[in-house]
Amino acid sequence: MPKPGREPAPTKDLVTAYLKEVKTKVDACIFDFLPTTHKHQDVHQLYQMMLDYPRRAGKGLRPALCLLICEVFGGDAERAVNTAAALELLQNWLLIHDDIEDGSELRRGEPCLHQKHGIPMAINVGDALHCKMWEMLHQNTDILGHELAFQILSEFIQLSNQVVEGQHIELSWVHNNQWNLNENDYWTMCIQKTAWYTCITPCRVGAIIGGASVEETDVFIEIGKSLGVAFQIQDDVLNLIGDIGRYGKEIAGDISEGKRTLVLIHLFNSCTPSEAQNVIDIMARPRTEKTEAEVQSVLQLMQKYNSIQYAQECSNTLLKEAVEKFNQNFAHLPDSRAKHLFLSLIHFFVEREY
Amino acid sequence: MPKPGREPAPTKDLVTAYLKEVKTKVDACIFDFLPTTHKHQDVHQLYQMMLDYPRRAGKGLRPALCLLICEVFGGDAERAVNTAAALELLQNWLLIHDDIEDGSELRRGEPCLHQKHGIPMAINVGDALHCKMWEMLHQNTDILGHELAFQILSEFIQLSNQVVEGQHIELSWVHNNQWNLNENDYWTMCIQKTAWYTCITPCRVGAIIGGASVEETDVFIEIGKSLGVAFQIQDDVLNLIGDIGRYGKEIAGDISEGKRTLVLIHLFNSCTPSEAQNVIDIMARPRTEKTEAEVQSVLQLMQKYNSIQYAQECSNTLLKEAVEKFNQNFAHLPDSRAKHLFLSLIHFFVEREY
């Protein structure tokens, strides 16, 4: 039974079915593209490692956004599948390197690549997938022609610059043991590190392939900022209160890793100075030097001060803003399955429980 | 005074002057392109880290090969400067990640990037420069037009696939503690890991921009294999017997790092089983668990069995083969400053002492 106030079940089913449909198409494109066998056994092993993260079940949010927005503008989504697949490759090489940089343990329910094969090989596998992303974008020439293919490349370049900067900001906080962060610090990092590659670029490249004007394409910068941050906050919340079987990472892993989230910033703004110092003492230590009880004590403080609830409210507000911007700016576009699905999809992702 | 049997000094001076000329042009292109300042202090710091390796003095072999081969085919080298700069960016991101993967300490006379800032940040800086490489290649559109720019991109994609495979082969040897390697194993790894990015692609992209035919461009695969391996062997030799002040890495660092070189393979083929076992015992240990005396004992065995001399002879033979292939295949091209300089340059690099 759907809970009161939620989307009715049929819409959720539509979204789930659509995500499945997109995943089938995009996976076919990726697994047709990535090499699988080589007569040199070490190279063969590299190929298997390159297939590891792409084979782990992701939700396929980014490709779905790309294909839907392409359709919203009346484009043929089939022409955007290759670009959507490149977005998945991007996600995979970023995650491999990100997991090393954060010292993470689990990714999508399995040990991280560097936990399985060591840091040196994992760095190189990430690089290999990174190269494959540009190769896949290069193949757009045959699908979209030189000019449009170059425009898409340009979008990925802009995105890459954003994401490495966002990543550096977050790594700096860890490196400098910096905890006195405000919400603005968080927005800046999160927009650069997450919103660009999760929402802004997927929507922009979909729009471009769909034939949107420059002005229409640019609207997705603002929409994507709100949406991307909303998704990230929801991800951070699920990290704290999710179900490990469905979420695929260790629960409260962000506390173990000392990750700066909106939840944590709210906690610092709400708790007593001595509680804050205690939290910092726990968060700042390497994960191996934290007990489960210490991690739980931080989680309990977050619950005591309603920090998780606060973050969820922010996430909902951002979603509402994104929907309003979308409706205001694209009222002139005809009602379509794609428009309806796009709005359902973004609700689904902010309200998801895994 | 030039040593007897060496190139006379004036030719060496010409090469040195040409390398300097190319470096000035390519550096101008790189430092004009890479961002330098940002109002966000963490992003500003990232930009400074991205400039670190490019600012350290490299010899500029790859750009020089690219520009010279462009000229050999009658092309305007100015049109190839941007591509030559991308080759340097490639070299820099590869080195940053390679230094982490190998656990290196020094690069071009300074601590490696990960020694200065930690592995997480260094991985990300490498990624940032990697992205900048594709951005620089994207800018070729304005210089070379869409079609040629895409062809150059294609060359970099082929190269990237080679280099990550070669890197994986070498990392596998370390990971599997594998020492029973023959010369063929070494050639395969070295061609993929080094020859492609050091010689094959620099020459091929120079040829393409210079207007060479497909057949002419393809000759550089064989020339570049011989040359690239010759350079790498010479680099391995200098690692063992070079002058730290001029070479810029710790001497015999390859022994500390347990690197499989042609010198080492020759040693295993020449020494007694008990000597070999002793060498493996030393080489296989992490660098922190090796004494200076142990490193020196391996070096002395290499000298005892003339393994260093053997490698130098191989390097000279490969150089000779490359020169013959070049002269045979390109006799139809007019004599030019570029042809002369190319031949002098490759001699210079195989015979260099730093």
Nearest residue on chain A to B178, alpha-carbon basis:
A42
For residue B7, the model assigns a pLDDT of: 47
Q: Would the pLDDT of A2 be above 50?
A: no
Helix axes A337-351, A307-329, angle to 10 degrees: 170
pLDDT at A246: 61
CB-based contact (8 Å) between B178 and chain A? no
Whole-angstrom distance, CA of residue A102 vs CA of residue B123: 11
pTM attached to this predicted model = 0.93
> Are B131 and A175 within 8 A, CB to CB?
no
Query: What is the pLDDT, as a whole number, of residue A354?
Result: 60
pLDDT reported for residue A119: 98
Residues of chain B with pLDDT under 70: 1-10, 243-250, 353-354
Report the C-alpha gap between B72 and B338 in whole angstroms: 5
What pLDDT digit, counting tens, does each position of A179-230 carry?
999 999 999 999 999 999 999 999 999 999 999 999 999 999 999 999 999 9
pLDDT of amino acid B2:
43
Contacts of B132 in chain A (CB under 8 A): 161
Selected residue with higher pLDDT from A103 and A247: A103
Q: What is the DSSP string of B277-328?
A: HHHHHHHHS-GGG--HHHHHHHHHHHHHTTHHHHHHHHHHHHHHHHHHHHHH
Residue A8 has pLDDT above 60, yes or no: no
Query: What values do phi and psi take at B285, rounded to 5?
Result: -75, 150
Reported as a pLDDT band with limits 50, 70 and 90, residue A254 is confident
Please state, as a whole number, how many other Cβ atoms lie within 10 Å of the Cβ of residue B41.
10
User: A116 — contact with chain B (CB < 8 Å)?
Assistant: no
The nearest CA of chain A is from the CA of B161 a distance in Å of: 7
What's the one-letter identity of residue A268? F
pLDDT in tens, B299-320: 999 999 999 999 999 999 999 9
% helix, strand, coil for chain A, step of 5: 80, 0, 20
**Strand A110-111 relative to strand B106-107, pairing:** unpaired
Would you place residue A350 in the very low, low, confident or very high pLDDT band (cuts 50, 70, 90)? confident
Q: What gap in Å lies between CA B136 and CA A71, rounded to an integer? A: 32
d(CA A124, CA A122): 5
Kindly state the percentage of chain B with pLDDT values over 70.
94
Across residues A296-318, what is the average pLDDT?
95
* Whether the predicted pLDDT of A1 surpasses 50: no
Using the Cβ of A177 and the Cβ atoms of chain B, whether some distance falls under 8 Å is answered with no
State residue A129's pLDDT score: 98
Query: Is the pLDDT confidence value at A321 over 70?
Result: yes
Q: What's the longest Cα–Cα distance across chain A?
A: 62
Residues of chain A neighbouring B147 (CB-CB closer than 8 A): 146
- B138–A130 CB contact, under 8 Å: no
pLDDT reported for residue B58 = 84
Can you give the pLDDT at residue B109?
86
| Nearest CB neighbour to A150, from listed B125, B146, B168 | B146
Q: What are phi and psi of A344, to 5 degrees?
A: -65, -40
Q: Do A120 and B100 touch (CB under 8 A)?
A: yes
3-state secondary structure string, B186-226?
Answer: HHHHHHHHHHHHHHHHHHHHHHHHHCCCHHHHHHHHHHHHH
The mean pLDDT value of chain A amounts to: 93
Tell me the C-alpha to C-alpha distance, in Å, between residue B48 and each of A173, B99, B181.
17, 19, 41
Q: Cα(A152)–Cα(A158) distance, rounded to whole angstroms?
A: 10
Tell me, yes or no, if B127 comes closer than 8 A to chain A by beta carbon: yes
Give me the total of CB pairs closer than 8 Å, taking one residue from chain A and one from chain B.
134
Q: Contact A165/B134, CB-based, under 8 Å?
A: no
**B169 to A40: CB separation less than 8 angstroms, yes or no:** yes
Nearest of B25, B33, B28, B24 to residue B132 by alpha carbon: B33
pLDDT at residue number A248: 59
Q: Does B146 touch chain A (CB under 8 A)?
A: yes
Contact A131 B172 (CB under 8 A): no
**pLDDT above 50: residue A7:** no
CA distance B42 to B65: 37
Residue window 40-69, chain A: list those with CB within 8 Å of chain B.
Answer: 40, 42-43, 45-46
Which A residues in the span 335-354 are in contact with B, Cβ-Cβ below 8 Å? none
Tell me how far apart the alpha carbons of residues B266 and A169 are, in angstroms, rounded to a whole number. Answer: 48
- Write A25-32 long-range contacts (CB < 8 A, 24+): A25/A81, A25/A84, A26/A60, A26/A63, A26/A81, A26/A84, A26/A85, A26/A88, A27/A54, A29/A81, A29/A82, A29/A84, A29/A85, A30/A54, A30/A85, A30/A88, A30/A89
Query: Taking CA atoms, what residue in B is nearest to A160?
Result: B131
Residues in A touching B149 (Cβ below 8 Å): 150
Q: Which of B41, B164, B187, B193 to mutate to test the interface with A (most CBs of A within 10 A)?
A: B164
β-strand partners of A107: A110
- B223 Cα to chain A: minimum distance (Å): 23
Q: Which residue of B has its CA nearest to A170?
A: B42
Chain A partners within 8 Å of B154 (Cβ) = 138
- Tell me how crowded residue A263 is: count the other CB atoms within 10 A of its CB: 27
Residues in chain B closer than 8 A to A146 (CB atoms): 146-147, 150
| pLDDT on residue A37 | 96
Report the Cα–Cα distance between both ends of chain A, in Å, rounded. 18
Interface check A98 vs B, CB under 8 A:
no
**pLDDT tens-digit profile of B56-109?**
978 899 999 999 999 999 999 999 999 999 999 999 999 999 999 998 888 988
- Say whether A157 and B131 touch across the interface (CB within 8 A): yes
Long-range contacts, B201-204 (Cβ 8 Å, 24+): B201/B87, B201/B155, B201/B156, B201/B158, B201/B159, B202/B61, B202/B62, B202/B63, B202/B65, B202/B66, B202/B69, B202/B84, B202/B87, B203/B65, B203/B66, B203/B69, B204/B155
Interface with chain B: mutation pick from A168, A185, A201, highest number of B CBs within 10 Å:
A168
Q: Is A151 on the interface with B (CB under 8 A)?
A: no
What's phi and psi for A76, nearest 5 deg?
Answer: -90, 110
The C-alpha of B281 sits at a distance from chain A's nearest C-alpha, in angstroms, of: 22
CB-closest option in A128, A154, A175 to B138:
A154
Q: What is the pLDDT of residues A90-125, one digit of tens each?
A: 999 999 999 999 988 889 889 999 999 999 999 999
Return d(Cα A113, Cα B329) in angstroms, integer: 46
Taking the C-alpha atoms of residue A342 and residue A210, their distance in angstroms, rounded to an integer, is: 15
Global ipTM: 0.93
